[in-house]
Amino acid sequence: MEFRNFHKIAFITLLFCVPFAYGWGIDGHLIICRLAQLRLSETAAEAVSQLLPAYANNDLGSVCSWADRVKFRYHWSSPLHYIDTPDNVCTYEYNRDCKDEDGIQDRCVAGAINNYTTQLLSYGKANSASQYNLTEALLFLSHFIGDIHQPLHVGFTSDRGANTIDVRWYRRKEVLHHVWDNNIIETAEQRFYDSNVDELIDALQKNITTVWSKQAKAWEACSKTACPDVYASEGIKAACDWAYKGVKEGSVLQDNYFLSRRPVVNLRLAQGGVRLAATLNRIFR
């Protein structure tokens, strides 16, 4: 499966010439990629270092939102950030759900993860340089593994993953999708980490290596190189159990919602980081 000839478009020029729009939000993607880079094997770390653009200074997190920045120029990539599932069914099936609005199969975030994983498996082979842009493949894969862990990126079809559900986040008017992309993380940073994302990353990393250490080994498990269907199934369950639950048009979401949903967001960020690292480690053996 190939997603247009994206690799033929100049990579560097796109970085500064498009509007900003984000999935998990800048900090969410930054967190996942920073957590992942801490867990890379020596071989994978070297491959990532070779593929990252020089201006990234070997910091995968610094370019983890690139895929959001370029979707306004790479219009074909927009459907690759999410999956629409049937309303209120609360399950995910690849053959049923992984398609774009025109019904083209494989064009969803799970399909994109499979595609860019396959591309990156060509790293180091003789024809990889001419066939694929592996720098872009790395940045797309890193971003999409983050996206699939945001529950509302595997949300309901009719509300476009809660993008049409207007709510209030405390006093601020938002849509429910944005609450999960940004507001829960931002409020947690302000309230518990002195608005310092690095402190939140440190706290999550500590939990991964201590209280979540046994769970983290299970998160890594995958019978293939990448397992996006597992992550998507978890995502729609979390969307039903936590994101959508108790929310309707015009709901005011305050401490009760924030404090009960914050652990879910932390868990999904941690899972995203652990699984991105595990996927890259399997790709770059």
pLDDT score recorded for residue 7: 40
167-176: pLDDT as tens digits: 999 999 999 9
pLDDT score recorded for residue 77: 98
pLDDT over 90, % of the chain? 88
pLDDT score recorded for residue 224: 97
Domains of the chain in sequence order: 17-283 (1.10.575.10)
CB contact set of 183 (below 8 Å; sequence gap of 6+): 169, 172, 174
- Helix segments in the chain, DSSP class H: 26-37, 42-51, 66-70, 94-97, 109-120, 128-131, 134-148, 176-178, 184-192, 197-209, 213-220, 228-238, 255-283
173-228: pLDDT as tens digits: 999 999 999 999 999 999 999 999 999 999 999 999 999 999 999 999 999 999 99
pTM over 0.85: yes
CA atoms within 13 A on the CB side of 174: 20
132-186: pLDDT as tens digits: 999 999 999 999 999 999 999 999 999 999 999 999 999 999 999 999 999 999 9
- State the pLDDT confidence band at 20, using cuts at 50, 70 and 90: very low
Please give the average per-residue pLDDT across 99-115, as a whole number: 98
